[in-house]
Amino acid sequence: MTVNRRILLSARPDGLVTEACLERVEEPVPQIGDGEVLVRVLCLSVDPTNRVWMREEDSYLPAIELGAVVRAAGLGEVVESRREGFGSGDLVMGLPGWQDYWKLTADDMGQVVPPGIAVEDLLSIYGATGVTAYFGLLEIGKPQPGETVVVSGAAGGVGSVAGQIARIKEAGRVIGIAGTDEKCRWVVEDLGFDACINYKTEDVATRLRELCPDGIDVYFDNVGGEILDAVLLQINIGARIVMCGAISEYTRAESAGLKNYKELIMQRGRMEGFIILDYVDRFIEAIMELAPWVAEGRIKYAVEVVDGLEHAPDALNRLFTGDHAGKLIVRVAAPSA
């Protein structure tokens, strides 16, 4: 391929991402200078945070500038390197964005990953997704044996793994919340959650009361909004709420507002956010503990691969319509070997 297809952000979306917010261009493959690396993008991770970065306000990273390529995590293969430590054919993880070729400059995050792990695994269980579940649950949630753990976005890439880690750590009860009966079935029958609430057809507060008779000790939250509000009413003394994501907020212009936050006072609870980038130095620690659990079948995960860079925007929208289960990945190109 001698053309670099790129998908640029041309306007800030309101709700889902539409073509009106994007500009699809074809440019020559970039030239690199000293200290730079040319990477052919293989796979892109589809994450709620992509949509956060499209908003006008800066978040934990600056907002994507209008006219710039859409920022996204992913994995590619080194085509040409003028930087020590990066050799032709090496696999590199970082933030390539929605394009075929990624010019990795000295300022960009990019790490060579060891060969021998499937690209899909590197972007799911052994990538930010699995590691997010690991550190979020264990460092912030700190579930103790016997405690009740609730996970929203339970069928998603992060939530599905978080619930299984809670189980491994001997939580007394692991309850999921997801958006279809099929997802709920998967979470309970295949992943071993005790129960799963379909928030689109069931009353979350009522079901939580039934399914968590001893209250909620840890809530691993991927969604924020009304579901977080329902959970707050049922937290136990000393409860920990892991704020991993708030996907219900990202496509809204203004939040509906969290009404029950004062329960954190009454129950001496804690609500704490984290960003997995802060744990980059500790990824290997998580992977070393996750790998045997995966090998023993104690952690299962699902990856859905969407073929073609051109489908990246639709894939992202599916996170917000709930039309997926497990980790969603866009395959841009096949590895050369």
* Interface map 70-109 toward its own copies (x if CB under 8 A): ----------------------------------------
- 15 part of the interface to its own copies, by CB under 8 A: no
DSSP letters for 52-75:
HHHSSS--SSPPPPTTSBPP--EE
Nearer of residues 157 and 245 to its own copies, judged by Cβ: 245
In the set 114, 145, 265, 297, which binds its own copies (CB under 8 A)? 265
Nearer of residues 118 and 237 to its own copies, judged by Cβ: 237
- Tally of CB atoms within 10 A around 284: 11
Q: Min. distance of Cβ 257 from its own copies in angstroms?
A: 2
The Cα 100–Cα 1 span in angstroms is: 9
- 50 part of the interface to its own copies, by CB under 8 A: no
Contact 4, 27 (CB under 8 A): yes
What 8-state DSSP symbol labels residue 128? H
- 157 part of the interface to its own copies, by CB under 8 A: no
Nearer of residues 278 and 285 to its own copies, judged by Cβ: 278
Q: Min. distance of Cβ 260 from its own copies in angstroms?
A: 7
Spatial CA neighbour of 147 closest among 194, 210, 215, 204: 215
Q: Which of residues 210-229 bind its own copies (CB under 8 A)?
A: 224
In the set 190, 214, 272, 289, which binds its own copies (CB under 8 A)? 272
Contact 239, 217 (CB under 8 A): yes
In the set 256, 280, 284, 334, which binds its own copies (CB under 8 A)? 256
Q: Could you tell me whether strands 216-221 and 235-243 are parallel, antiparallel, or unpaired per DSSP bridges?
A: parallel
- Tally of CB atoms within 10 A around 205: 15
To which residue do tokens 């699809």 refer? Answer: 24
Nearer of residues 90 and 221 to its own copies, judged by Cβ: 221
User: Where on the chain is the footprint of its own copies (CB under 8 A)?
Assistant: 52, 59-60, 224, 243-246, 249, 254-275, 278
